Structures are given as C-alpha cells and as structure tokens.
Amino acid sequence: MLGLSARNAMLSGKTALHAQARSYIAEYERLVTASGSRDELPEQLIRIAGRYHNDWSVGGPSSADISLNIPFAPLQVEAEGWALLVNRGTLPAYQWLQAFLGRSRWSNLMAFDWWPLHATLAMIDVREGRLHESQRRLEDGSIPPEMALVIRAAAELVEGNPETVETLVDRVLAMPTTTTRWRMLAYGLKLGAATCGPDPQDVAGMVLHLYDWAHAPCTLALLPDIARKPILDHVGPPLSELAGLRVGETVGRRPAGSVRLTPRQIDVLQGLVEGKTLGRIALDLGLGKETIRSTAKQMYKRLGVHDRASAVLMGQALGMI
C-alpha cells in the first residue's frame, strides 16, 4: 500500500492533478504512521511527487545522487530540471537535462523511456527560439502525440501563426488522453495566440480563471514569452519575479565580451544554430571534418558547455548569434 500511494502521488504531481497529489501524499503519511516504517523506494517517489506538486526550491539532489537504473529515473530528472528552470532559468535546466540524456545510454532503461526530458528540452528550445532543435526532438517519435502537438503549437506561436496554433490546440484538447498539465500548456498557448486576435480579453477571461496558475510555475516556465506574459500579469509577484519566469530577459547572462570566439568558431557555432552536422559544416567551409570537430571542442570549452544545444543557448545568451 505504501508503494501504491507513493506511485499515485508521483503520477498525480506529474500530470498537475494537485488536489489528488496532496491526497495521496497525506494517505502515504497516514500509512507510514500506522506501519511505523519508511522504505527507500516509496520515499523517493514521494519526494518526486512533492517536487512536481509544490516544491520548487533549488536545493535538490546532486546528479550523482540520482540512479539512472530505476524505472522512474526520467521523472526524477525531469522534476529536478523543472525546479532549476523555474528558479535559475533556461540554461542551467537545459544543461542538467542534456547531461542526463548523455548518460542515459548507459542505463538499463529503453531510449524511449527518456521522452520526458526530450519534451522539456523541446519546449525550452521553442521558448528560446531554436525551432529546428525542437523539431529534431520530435523526429524519433518517443514523445507522446498529445505533447508533440503542444510542442508544434508552441513553435507555431513563436513563428507568428495564431490560426495554426488554434487548430493544433483544439486537437490537443479533443484527445481524451491529454493530461491536465498538457491541457494547461495548450490553454496557455491558446491565450498567447489570442493576443494577436480581435477578442483577446474574451479568451483571457476564460483561460486565466480555468486553472490556479499561481500554483503552476513549472507549467508556466515551459511556455513561450507571448503565452507566459498575460498569465504572469494576472498572477503577479512573487511568481512573476522568479528567475525562470520573467519575460523578456535572459537569466544568468554572462557579460557581453566575457567570452571571445575565433572567426572559425563563430562559423561553426552558426552552423550548429542552423541545425547542420559537423560534416555538413566542414563541407560548407571547405575544411576537414576533424578540423571542424577540433574547432567545436575548443568552442565548447570557451563557452563552458559540453554539447551543441548548450553551445547554441550560450551563444544566444552572449549575443554572438
């Protein structure tokens, strides 16, 4: 019973069924009191449930404390990534999630089990304007169709296609398997699209009172600026002052000019922005692939990152591209 209550609490938190999550967490504590024991696995599930539900503080486990060989590892990594996103901004969250994806190949889990990380990274890509990166994450098919539609709708919103956003959102909302959190994202995108339409106040009146947005910072953090702003204007501080929710600024920006890249490194970085492989960049620049690979490694070191997606993110944060 302890394990079942803990699992239900975690899944309720994951899908933004907050009342249910509270109920299951309380039930778990009653069972613990009655049994007089706490087991490691249910305790971990309850901690993840709390992270999803209402614990958005930065202080969490280090990456070394998270085992990749347990079935719920992707959800634990996602929950911690969301806390980083809310409190510290897109770059720390992105690097955290990317690092675990890199390590996931040595876990006992299947590649598709890690779809929550791909979905979160895709939404951050859209939020930061890296639409080709978000599209690339959809191509392996591991992200559930409901969330894939949400990601596509977010990209269309950033591109300025409100009619397409409305169409995609309607499809998401019509699917019976769409979770509450995905519905919240869809309605947030609907609100963003409505700001470009003739009757934004009508949609705003409906969307802003449909959910308790003041208790949904993790969901808000996944939305593009145009969708996040009207909701933050509605709920106000302290939510609107959280580092990962503020609109129109880059959190944790390093001073312009603090990092200098060579012209060749800039060329490679621009190629990565355009979604090119290192082989394609080498061909375009008339250089050998090993030369470009070495240049990319040197560029990563100067930017203080370990992968192409983080390099693009840091390059944008520094105004290099």
Q: How far is CA 45 from the centre of its chain?
A: 20
- Provide the sign of the torsion angle of the four alpha carbons 140, 145, 151, 157, taken in this order: positive
Give the CATH number of domain 263-318; options: 1.10.10.10, 1.10.101.10, 3.40.190.10, 3.30.70.100. 1.10.10.10
Cβ pair 107, 72 in contact under 8 A = no
Q: What is the pLDDT of residue 135?
A: 93
Q: Any idea where the domains of the chain sit in the sequence?
A: 1-54, 70-241, 263-318
Say which residue the tokens 């995609």 belong to: 168
Task: Please report which residue ranges of the chain form alpha helices under DSSP H.
Answer: 2-14, 18-35, 40-53, 73-88, 90-104, 115-127, 131-138, 145-159, 162-174, 180-194, 200-208, 217-221, 225-235, 263-273, 278-285, 289-303, 308-317
- pTM equals 0.76
Q: Which of 117, 3, 114 lies closest to 49, judged by CA? A: 3
Residue 142 CB partners (closer than 8 Å, separation 6+): 111, 112, 114, 115, 118
Q: What pLDDT does residue 255 have?
A: 45
pLDDT tens per residue, the chain (321 residues)? Answer: 678 899 999 899 889 888 898 899 999 899 988 888 788 888 889 888 888 877 666 555 555 467 888 889 999 999 989 988 998 888 888 878 888 888 888 888 998 999 999 999 999 999 998 899 899 999 988 999 999 999 999 999 999 999 999 999 999 999 999 999 999 999 999 999 998 776 767 778 888 888 989 889 999 999 999 999 999 999 999 888 898 998 875 444 444 445 778 878 888 988 888 888 999 999 988 999 999 999 999 988 888 877 787 788 777 766 666
The pLDDT of residue 99: 80
The predicted structure's pLDDT at residue 218: 92
Tell me the DSSP string of 152-177: HHHHHHHHT-HHHHHHHHHHHHH-TT
What pLDDT shows up at residue 309? 77
Write the CB contacts of 159 (distance below 8 Å, at least 6 apart in sequence). Answer: 131
Q: Could you give the C-alpha distances from 279 to 134, 268, 282, in angstroms and in order?
A: 21, 11, 5
The alpha carbon dihedral of 294, 300, 306, 312 has a sign of negative
Give me the phi and psi of 123, to 5 degrees please.
-70, -35
